[in-house]
Amino acid sequence: MKIDERALTNQNAATWLARGRAAIAGGDVHIDLSAVQAVDSAAVALLLDWQRAAQARGAALDLAGVPAGIESLARLYGVSALLGLPEPARP
């Protein structure tokens, strides 16, 4: 599934929650976030929900084009590993 909006925020989260769940229920666990430029904590919540939905199907969410904002928020919330996102190198 390709997220074709520039923002993934609380304002459109309900719409994308439903789209993502439907895609995953249909077997599509690949999420392309390359068009997304603006995010808030709702984006991380969506990815966590979709990851649970994928795991319930015996799969893992496959994220592509993850914007830096999502990576930053996931690190802040301590959920990078749950989403399969790389941890930054420690000095």
Helix (H) or strand (E) holding 19: helix 13-25
CATH number of the domain residue 49 falls in: 3.30.750.24
- Give a yes or no: residue 2 inside a domain: no
- Give a yes or no: residue 70 inside a domain: yes
pLDDT in tens, the chain (91 residues): 999 999 999 999 999 999 999 999 999 999 999 999 999 999 999 999 999 999 999 999 999 999 999 999 999 999 999 999 987 666 6
- As given in the structure block, the two tokens for residue 15 are 């719409």
Q: Which domain holds residue 13?
A: 7-77
- Give a yes or no: residue 88 inside a domain: no
Count of domains for the chain: 1
Phi and psi at 19, nearest 5°, equal -65, -45
